[in-house]
Amino acid sequence: MTELPKNFLWGGAVAAHQVEGAYNVGGKGLSVADVMTAAGSHDERRITDGVQEGEFYPNHEAVDFYHQFPEDVKLFAEMGFKSFRTSIAWSRIFPQGDETEPNEEGLAFYDRLFDECLKYNIEPVVTLSHFEMPYHLVTEYGGFRSRKTITFFTRFAEAVFNRYKDKVKYWLTFNEINNQSNYNREFTLFTNSGIQVKPGENAEAVMYQAGHYEVVASARAVQIGHKINPDFQIGAMVAFSPVYPATDKPADVLKAQRAMQARFWFSDVQVEGEYPSWLTRYQKAKQFNLDITPEDLAELKKGTVDYLGFSYYMSFATAASDHEDKYYSYNESEDLVTNTYVPRSDWGWQVDPEGLRYGLNWMNDRYHVPVFIVENGIGAIDKLEADHQVHDQYRIKYLRDHIEQMKLAIVEDGVDVMGYTPWSAIDIVSASTGQLSKRYGFIYVDRNDDGSGSLARYRKDSFYWYQHVIETNGDDL
Ligand code: BG6
């Protein structure tokens, strides 16, 4: 097999709220992640009304990256990272979200973090909004229910673009913006858009409105960023779980096609600058009465992204029911079925390495822009041995199988992949469950689900394996 490009951005990823902790340090305001409790392996986190006495909020301390990042970045450098993806916690910079001036202490923190990365020639890859909206925007404005939140977001984007214009080249606007296509799940609308659906409301319409404001906000941010530094590479970011038809029955194929359209209209708009034809008709037919202006549509055209970032963990499958409407309307919380051809992780995620090659080709055919795998990994229970080793062969296997498929897509199919930043560089607080025990990292952090633990860091077996993968530019897996 031919080699991967020499400048391939090998690295690892995290998000601010899942590692930093220090939730009320340096002037930081509360974010949506700060009002979510911890859940067990198979239930959802609760969203509380502000921070409540007697509740445990795992993101408040997370793994203390805020204080320990110099040592952590040193470990990333030891693994050979060429890039490190993290996010800027919006509420460190604009604690309430609606201020006009940024918080200098918050800005200074990311100066220190990015300088530390650059010291080791590690390129920061920075997400602007990774499930971290200031909580005040939720309580005062209803998050992205409000058009005003577009302005708050772009003000934040402009402040950080200006501040880090010589330190950060790679940006992503909204993390997994398309999670909320599963509009009946409380977690997705809250973390994507700061929204909790009220009784009697049409959650699907609420999602389409919020999603519209977000793609407009993203398009504005792209234009602002390119003015500040024309060399910026600003991407969109979607959760890429392809939806396969359960069988070759034509109705199943149509259902799966609609599912893909419903999950990826966000990137359709962000990459192509316009709404797909099926969606404008669908929104009208369903009488969603959305606030979408001609000026917005012009904005979308001007603010298309430079590349598409995506996460890949699993694939989905769907089947048509006997009573489909003419739109094959997709409701993700009801319409998925089990794919019996692929195994499942301990958390029920369908592990499907070939789905990554499929996805890379699908995106390449559809979008014709470079793509960046900014998350891929497996959440698993790790055992810290008495000698502080962690033998995480299952993680090595998962990553190896996926990298193999990525290489096939690049080398045999010619897909332009910018880099690979698996999830996660170091153990994190799981976004959906709040658990520490759902571990993803190459580096083990001694912290438990209840917040106990020394926070000491240990290299897992996957650390050394990945170090060798990077060293050989993916030749030796
Ligand atoms: C993605 C998110 O959904 O997947 C991350 O961008 C998240 O924030 C990751 O941690 C894994 O999901 P989870 O719920 O297992 O943490």
Q: Of residues 20, 132, 176, 375, which has the active-site annotation?
A: 375
Which candidate, 310, 317, 464, 297, places its Cα nearest to that of 396?
464
The average confidence (pLDDT) of the chain is 97
Phi then psi dihedrals of residue 91, to 5 deg: -80, 0
Cβ–ligand 1 contact at 436 (below 6 Å): no
Cβ–ligand 1 contact at 187 (below 6 Å): no
pLDDT band at 2 (very low <50, low <70, confident <90, very high): low
Amino acid 3: pLDDT:
84
- In the residue annotation, 375 being an active-site residue is answered as yes
Cα–Cα–Cα angle for 438, 444, 446, nearest 5°?
85
Cβ–ligand 1 contact at 376 (below 6 Å): no
Cβ–ligand 1 contact at 261 (below 6 Å): no
Confirm if 209 and 149 have CB atoms less than 8 A apart: no
Domain ranges of the chain: 9-471
Which candidate, 333, 112, 324, 68, places its Cα nearest to that of 203?
333
Confirm if 298 and 304 have CB atoms less than 8 A apart: no
Amino acid 260: pLDDT:
98
Cβ–ligand 1 contact at 427 (below 6 Å): no
Q: For a pocket test of ligand 1, which of 19, 375, 378, 398 has the largest count of ligand atoms closer than 8 A to its C-beta?
A: 375
Helices (H) and strands (E) in the chain, counts: 15, 13
Cβ–ligand 1 contact at 423 (below 6 Å): yes
Specify which residues 172 forms β-bridges with. Answer: 127, 235
Both tokens assigned to 173? 């606007």
- Measured CA to CA, the distance from residue 475 to residue 403 in angstroms comes to 10
Q: Whose CA is nearest to atom 14 of ligand 1?
A: 432
Looking at the chain, the whole-number percentage of residues with pLDDT higher than 70 is 100
- Measured CA to CA, the distance from residue 329 to residue 281 in angstroms comes to 13
Cβ–ligand 1 contact at 421 (below 6 Å): no
Q: Whose CA is nearest to atom 2 of ligand 1?
A: 431
pLDDT digits (tens, 9 = 90+) for 385-406: 999 999 999 999 999 999 999 9
Using only C-alpha atoms, the chain has a radius of gyration, in whole angstroms, of 21
Q: Whose CA is nearest to atom 16 of ligand 1?
A: 430
3-state helix, strand, coil in the chain (%, to 5): 40, 15, 45
Fold of 9-471: TIM Barrel (3.20.20)
- Measured CA to CA, the distance from residue 465 to residue 453 in angstroms comes to 26
Q: Whose CA is nearest to atom 5 of ligand 1?
A: 431
Cβ–ligand 1 contact at 35 (below 6 Å): no
- Measured CA to CA, the distance from residue 59 to residue 131 in angstroms comes to 12
ipTM surpasses 0.95: yes
Position in ligand 1 atom list of the atom nearest CA 349: 15
- Measured CA to CA, the distance from residue 306 to residue 173 in angstroms comes to 11
CA 270 to ligand 1 centroid distance, Å: 22
Position in ligand 1 atom list of the atom nearest CA 379: 15
pLDDT digits (tens, 9 = 90+) for 166-203: 999 999 999 999 999 999 999 999 999 999 999 999 99
pLDDT digits (tens, 9 = 90+) for 223-236: 999 999 999 999 99
